[in-house]
Structure 1
Amino acid sequence: MFCDRFSSQLGSKLLEVNYVNLYAPPVDEQDPRATRTGINVFMFPTWFLAQVKETWYDTKTKKTFRTRPLLPWGNLVSGQYLNSEKKKVPVVPVRFVQACVKGHISDIHWYAFVHNDSENKCRGQLCLDEGGSGNDFAEIYVHCECKKRRPLADATVRNGKVLVPCQGHRPWLGSFAQQPFCIRESTGLPEYNRLLVRSASNAYFSQILSVISLPDSDAALQKAVNSVYEDFLKKITTLEQLTLVKSLMSKVATNLEGFSNEVVWQEIQRRQNGQVNQHKSIKQVEIETLLSSPVVVGEDIPEGDFYARARDVSSLKPKFASCIERIVLVHRLREVIAQVGFTRFEAEMPDIDGELDISVRRAALDIETTWVPAIENKGEGVFIAFRKEVIEDWLK
């Protein structure tokens, strides 16, 4: 468990809990005598295709299709298909399922689909017919022994409402994790399922947040201002007065060493106006820390999380010194990456500030989120801050 600032912000804003723990995956145990570890899983999908070698010739299209029995788990015998000769045949999970944009996923109601009627009571043997390479939906059919046959391409029509409304199934959490309502917020109408290939790239998009472990510059600033606020800073009304006080009072200059006059003045104004600390984005905190940090930040130790030194830009060549305001050489840093949820069909990535849109239809990792999986990367880097007037010229 690590990175308290990150976990508290992540929990309160995105996951709507007071605090969420971050845990790294367990290390694989190499000792064969050690206790076995692993992850419990639920079976999904629950429909399977028997691996029979049969073909069927369609006289209308004049094409040959590979046809395989489509079976629910309950119709299998010891996990295998029992054919007409009473021989057991291996099965594989069907690769077609249905899902909605909120992340819910479930088996296709194959009987309702092939009969085009959710009320139909026929429970004849179903088969999946695949022509060609099996990747063209127009050449994949589902047929029932009652002679009903339907192309899978019918389920690919966008907003066609061919598949049943989403029932909120979350099989990765178990059979009792179904959410009772799946409504499209913009219309108030039920959200319909879409056809999804389990192995397709749009089946699962991890939603992750990353943050660099940095010293909390706000906490250090507030502590420094606290030490001299009542005696020297409380009645200051302008930035010029602050500059004068720092030049005349050695105690003020010493206690505020490492912080720019502008940053200190902002903190004084916040206190005088009675403002509470505003929420800052992940990237904003990182930028402010690197811009306002002292010359040396952190400790240069092997297991340290952060160690950086600001380079003296006055020694740069004039053409570079005129453009660059600050250079920070980060010798050690730690990046924490946590998965907060996932989406289907469409990826939702963090914005330029490193924040995720709280209105995104994110699928939860658990019923009650108390922790999320996280990893850490350690490395190094260089931070370069360009002068504001230079950036404005570039943008013109």
Structure 2
Amino acid sequence: MALRSGRTRQTGRSDDTGITRTPLGTVRRAQTITTYGVGGMVAVEDQSYIVSGLDSWKHVWKSDVIYEPRLQHWLRVTRFQLPPADEPSSGDGIRVRLFPEMYSCATCKKLQEFRRFGSPAGKSVCGACDKPLTPSRFVIACENGHLDDFPYFEWVHKKSESNRDVNEKVKHELALESSGQTASLRSVVIKCSCGVRPASLEGAFGGGAMFALGIKCKGRRPWLGRDANEPGCTATPRTLQRGASAAWFAITRSALSIPPWSQSLQQRLNPHYDMFGVLLDNGVPDSALLSAIKKTDIMDDDRFTAEQVLAAIHRRRELEASALPDSDEAAPMLESANELRREEYNQLYDGTRIVSRDENFECVPAAGDGSALPYGIKRSMLVKRLREVRALESFTRVTMPDPAGGDTRRAAMANGTVDWLPAIEVSGEGVFLAIDENALQTWEQRPGPAARSQQIWYNHTMLLRERAERTGSTARLEDIKSPVTPRYVLLHTLAHVLINEWSLDCGYPAAALRERLYVDKDMAGLLIYTATSDSAGSLGGVVAQGEHRKLYETLESALSRAEWCSQDPPCMESEASGTNSLNLAACYACVLLAETSCETNNVFLDRAMLIGTPDDPSAGFFYKGD
């Protein structure tokens, strides 16, 4: 997919506005959901850009519309759109804007806005010395998603003359110099032609550096344009490196296509539903709807009657009129327990009976009566066919979204409102495992699991309360509590050790497998499935792992590996590890995975929940006693 600027070029493809734009670079479509989405910065050769808002994605095509009714209802949009490619048949790329605007020249040392260098069109060179320009290495951002150039002018003047007003009548030209004596920020010095004392960037990354100098967030949103500021932001800006991962955290939502929405009839109906929705809004009777149905290409498939299509339309209408599924904006809640997951859990647990070749979901029980299943596993289901839709809902900056939900920070994706979101779809296969509820309840009553999960619960609760105070939340601190439970930590850790084991056994790289958890008071299951959109997602290697005998062997092997870590004893004896101290016995030598495989950024993990500790083996769910 091409990245295109709004600046006019002499060569390139013209769009319907008459402006000719040359592609600046390319990224994969999937990266616009996970890495270079709206508001994210991308480096292209010697320049840096920020991806523009959805209102600038003018070239989206009906052939690239993605439908997933359940997820559409949850996110309150009418459709999802595959990011536009760089060919006319599927779009004209996405727009980007120059950011940061501050550039420097290594030869003349000038530090100023890019437009002031007088660079020729299509190039990034200093107009005075004809040498390449370098975009600012540093930016500032706040937790509300705002982003701005690093305030070099304020930094050098307020740091050196904090008690005096800046003389506006004196000419101010900034220069950036580096002594090269050290690799620290102390060697990076900002100077001004007004004669103020030079100031190094040492300390610029401190959490209170901007606050100490009285530099406040201006509410800038450069991905939406120069005039898209959001005034009144009270968050303290932080200094970040331009390419730092903390500069952009995606907030993605996903759902599996399950019956009836995965069935052939609904797939044929999707492109026509908007038309039928308008007819229903206008009070058109069913008899007229039947006549309209017969004129569409839905009836080209002789498997369906007009009456069946009409019933599918009304069923879709009932979904739209139903209450919204539980939202993580209401209260901190693990996504694994929301209503969308509950619907998927029920379908995965029961499976499907009759499935046609063109349907998106096929789930059948593994052969056997269950006697060969390993201890603690009640049911193994082979998901021979699945489809997942992943949509970019929004993004945050500085601190990642809370893995347990409840984080209300949402940066704007467009100027105004849009009724669609960018998304991708993944097809593949997987294995669903349901945990024995009776064994699980017995294990949850033991003191070991409760005590260990309480440590994670406490650390997470303190983190939530600290964040609420920092962002000015109106919620009472005593009402803010972590939703983490012993069974969640157990299932999450089990998913990780199985992904590691299956990647060794069936040849898939661990990064090509993904977890999906289903955890609540009356729900305990996990789905491990292929997370890649290429042909590796449907080779049958993962489904084979769900057969009873094979599952028994791989689970025994996975638990055996979990008993020892190369970082033991510190790993097993750890009282807090991982990001924000939200893990116990978990490190990259034992259970941590690639970020693309984990739902919660590798937190809420503890392998002692599986196999116990040397001092208390009964803390492990799979401990059977002596």
Q: TM-score range by the shorter chain?
A: 0.5 to 0.7
Give the whole-Å Cα distance in 1 for the aligned partners of 2:192 and 2:98.
25
Q: Say if 2:424 is the partner of 1:383.
A: no
Aligned equivalent of 2:220, options 169, 177, 192: 169
Equivalences for 1:132-211 in 2 at 5 Å? Answer: 132=180, 135-148=183-196, 149-160=198-209, 161=211, 162=213, 164-182=215-233, 190-211=234-255
* Within-5 A mapping of 1:291-330: 291=349, 293=350, 296-297=352-353, 299-301=355-357, 303-311=358-366, 314=369, 316-317=371-372, 320=373, 323-330=376-383
Match of 1:393 among 420, 442, 446: 442
Check if 1:127 corresponds to 2:127: no
Contact 1:50 1:69 (8 Å CA) reproduced: yes
Q: Contact (CA 8 Å) 1:141, 1:152: kept in 2 or not? A: yes
Q: Per-residue deviation at 1:81?
A: 2.8
2:238–2:398 CA contact under 8 A, matched in 1:
no
Alpha-carbon distance in structure 2 between the residues aligned to 1:119 and 1:151: 20
Q: Are 1:284 and 2:284 matched, yes or no?
A: no
- The structure whose residues are more often strand, as a share, is 1
Distance 1:27 1:344 in 2: 27
Aligned match of 2:423: 374
1:77 alignment partner in structure 2: 118
Contact 1:313/1:327 (<8 A) preserved:
no
Secondary structure at 1:372 match in 2: strand
CA drift of 1:278 comes to 7.0
Structure 2 match to 1:225? none
- Cα offset, 1:163, TM superposition: 6.0
| Per-residue CA distance 1:187-215 (angstroms, 9 max, x = gap) | xxx22222121111211111112221112
> Using the alignment, how far apart are the partners of 1:138 and 1:380 within structure 2?
53
Question: Secondary structure of the residue that 1:296 maps to in structure 2?
Answer: coil
* Letter paired with 1:393: T
State the match for 2:133 in structure 1: 91
SS in 2 for 1:42: strand
Extract unaligned runs of 5+ from structure 2: 1-65, 262-321, 327-337, 447-626
AA aligned to 2:346 is E
Is 1:7 matched with 2:72?
yes
Specify which structure has the bigger relative contact order, considering alpha-carbon pairs within 8 angstroms and separated by 6 or more residues: 1
AA of the residue aligned to 1:112: E
Asked if the contact 1:113/1:163 (under 8 Å) is kept, the reply is no
Question: Secondary structure of the residue that 1:309 maps to in structure 2?
Answer: strand
Q: What is the deviation of 1:333?
A: 0.2
Deviation per CA, 1:205-226: give whole Å up to 9, x if none: 1111222111259xxxxxxxxx
* Cα separation, 2, equivalents of 1:75 and 1:128: 15
CA change 1:179–1:278 in 2 (3 A) is closer
Check 1:321–1:51 CA distance in 2 against 1; reply closer, same or farther (3 A cut): closer
Gaps of 5+ in 1: 12-18, 55-67, 183-189, 218-274
Residue 344 of structure 1: CA displacement?
1.1
Give SS of 2:345's match.
Answer: helix
Offset at residue 140 of structure 1 (A):
1.5
Pair 1:127–1:387, CA change in 2 (3 A): same
TM-score, normalised via structure 2 length: 0.43
> Residue 103 and residue 135 in structure 1: after superposition, are their counterparts in 2 closer, same or farther (change >3 A)?
farther
Alignment check: 8 A CA contact 1:132 1:139 kept: yes
Q: Which deviates the most, 155-164 or 92-101? A: 155-164
| Larger relative helix fraction | 2
TM-superposed deviation, 1:97: 1.6
Structure 2 residue matching 1:210: 3-state secondary structure:
strand
- 1:337 alignment partner AA: R
Distance in 2 of aligned mates of 1:101 and 1:335: 30
Structure-2 separation of matches of 1:41 and 1:310: 48
Give the residue type in structure 1 aligned to 2:70.
R
- Whole-Å Cα distance in 2 between the matches of residues 169 and 300 of structure 1? 51
- Report the Cα distance in structure 2 between the residues aligned to 1:6 and 1:164, rounded to whole angstroms: 41
Aligned length: 295
* CA separation of 1:10 and 1:199: change in aligned 2, threshold 3 A: same
Aligned partners of 2:251, 2:396: CA distance in 1, in Å? 7
* CA distance in structure 2 between the aligned counterparts of 1:133 and 1:173, rounded to whole angstroms: 40
Aligned with 2:390 (options 337, 350, 367): 337
Match for 2:96 among 33, 38, 41?
Answer: 41
Alpha-carbon contact 1:142-1:152 (below 8 Å) kept: yes
Which amino acid counterpart does residue 214 of structure 1 have in structure 2? I
Distance 1:366-1:329 versus aligned 2 partners, 3 A rule = same
Q: Does the C-alpha gap of structure 1 residues 96 and 338 become closer, same or farther in structure 2, counting only changes over 3 Å?
A: same
Query: Partners in 2 of 1:166 and 1:333 — Cα distance?
Result: 45
Displacement of 1:360: 2.9
* CA distance in structure 1 between the partners assigned to 2:105 and 2:392 by the alignment: 36
User: Are the counterparts in 1 of residues 146 and 220 from structure 2 also a CA contact under 8 Å?
Assistant: yes
Structure 1 residue 101 corresponds to structure 2 residue 147: no
Could you say what secondary structure the match of 1:153 adopts?
coil
Name the CA distance, whole Å, in 2 between partners of 1:197 and 1:327: 46
Q: Are 1:48 and 1:94, in contact at CA under 8 Å, matched by a contact in 2?
A: yes
AA aligned to 1:379 is G
Q: Would the alpha carbon gap of residues 41 and 147 (structure 1) be closer, same or farther in structure 2, given more than 3 Å must change?
A: same
